[in-house]
Amino acid sequence: MRVAIQGCGHGNLNSIYAALAKLQNDRPVDLLLICGDFQAVRHEADLETLACPPKYRHLGDFPEYYSGRRKAPVLTLFIGGNHEASSHLWDLYHGGWVAPNMYFLGFSGCVRFGGLRISGISGLYDPRHIKMGYYERMPYTGDMIRSIYHTREVEYRKLELLQGKTDVFMSHEWPHKIYEHGNLNELLRCKPHFRNDIQSRGIGAPPLAKLLKVLQPIRWYAAHMHVEFKATVQHDQNVTEFLALDKCLPGRRHMQIVDIPAAGPMQLEYDEEWLSIVRAMDPFLSLNRTAPAIPDKVDLTDHVDFVRRLKESRSLKISERNSKPSDTPGKRTTLLQTSEFCRMLQIQDRWGLPFNLKLTNNPDEICSHENNQ
């Protein structure tokens, strides 16, 4: 399978697809991965949820794809970074289509495509918010525009539970000290201002370094630092090839195409193990300021059984039927995907609120949600 990897997106979808067309020559790629800062800004209102300096606050190319005027020429899978239409992505917390052929992996997620298992995590590490719940509500006030993309503990912990092999892992930022496994001198030559951070606390997210050790994925793709960087991490048995790429600007090394041996249907599918993890970890997903403590061991048995039965009754293909904006435009299409996902796993749909208020059994959540509407 041919997979194209792009660093940050920053709303420049037209340039990214143009670069892809040029780079792929006459051997079309099967999949494009974008490692965050995707900026799925649908309209002006979404700009209010995008954390960035005013000069970068623009609609970008996404509205053309959202409205159906343009269509992604290849299946595009992305994670979130620190410059996002955050409330849009929040409505697709568990993952979903933002436009035809464009799929958001979720705040954390794992899917299968063409025989590959692709996992990823959105956002940035920030110790101030890691232990909190997702308390942010629209309109974002104070620090919410930034805290919404700070990765919570539950996302790291969900991914740590994955047992099977991960072919590809995507994160926006780098695992902590990943540069120790690559050409640090070359990195400092391109980005001399990294030196101070590297000498003091080290660049990258410590929970990602832990994930790297636990999952030992074959490939790990990242962005955020706006520079190309390669590293090879030797584990006891396996090796992880790490690649970070730049953002899409002329002359920058922002995209790379790799051939990955894989055999399977070129169809996006839910990952069975991941679904059981989402189900098992759902009680630890909080929409309050506080979040329940996650025990060291989480028992998946019942949830594995549930997903096995689910698989007998339906296919795990990720249906594209909700991906056409023309069918049911706006927030409804988005929330419908989340609600269908929750119904499939029989977990609480926290996004259908206040429509589903009666289904909520936690009175605190009802109150906090209503107060912040």
Given the complex with Zn ion, which of 173 and 273 has the nearer CB atom? 173
Measure the N-to-C terminal CA separation of the chain; round to a whole number of Å.
Answer: 45
CB of 12 to Zn ion, least distance (A): 11
Residue 32 engages Zn ion in binding (rule: CB under 5 A): no
Given the complex with Zn ion, which of 148 and 345 has the nearer CB atom? 148
CB of 11 to Zn ion, least distance (A): 10
3-state secondary structure of 219: strand
| Rounded Cα–Cα distance for residues 111 and 279 (Å) | 15
Going 62 to 267 to 77 to 337, the CA torsion angle's sign is positive
Given the complex with Zn ion, which of 40 and 353 has the nearer CB atom? 40
Going 96 to 102 to 106 to 110, the CA torsion angle's sign is positive
CB of 8 to Zn ion, least distance (A): 3
Given the complex with Zn ion, which of 37 and 365 has the nearer CB atom? 37
Q: Which stretch binds Zn ion (CB under 5 A): 4-12, 136-144, 146-154, 325-333?
A: 4-12
CB of 251 to Zn ion, least distance (A): 16
Residue 79 engages Zn ion in binding (rule: CB under 5 A): no
Going 346 to 90 to 169 to 211, the CA torsion angle's sign is negative
Helix 272-281 to helix 301-313 angle (10° resolution) is 130
Q: Of 37, 61, 84, 271, which lies in the binding site for Zn ion, with binding defined by CB under 5 A?
A: 37
Residue 8 engages Zn ion in binding (rule: CB under 5 A): yes
* Residue 213 backbone dihedrals phi, psi, to 5 degrees: -70, -40
Of 244, 251, 267, the residue nearest 6 (C-alpha)? 244
Given the complex with Zn ion, which of 37 and 84 has the nearer CB atom? 37
Where does this chain bind Zn ion (CB under 5 A)? 8, 37
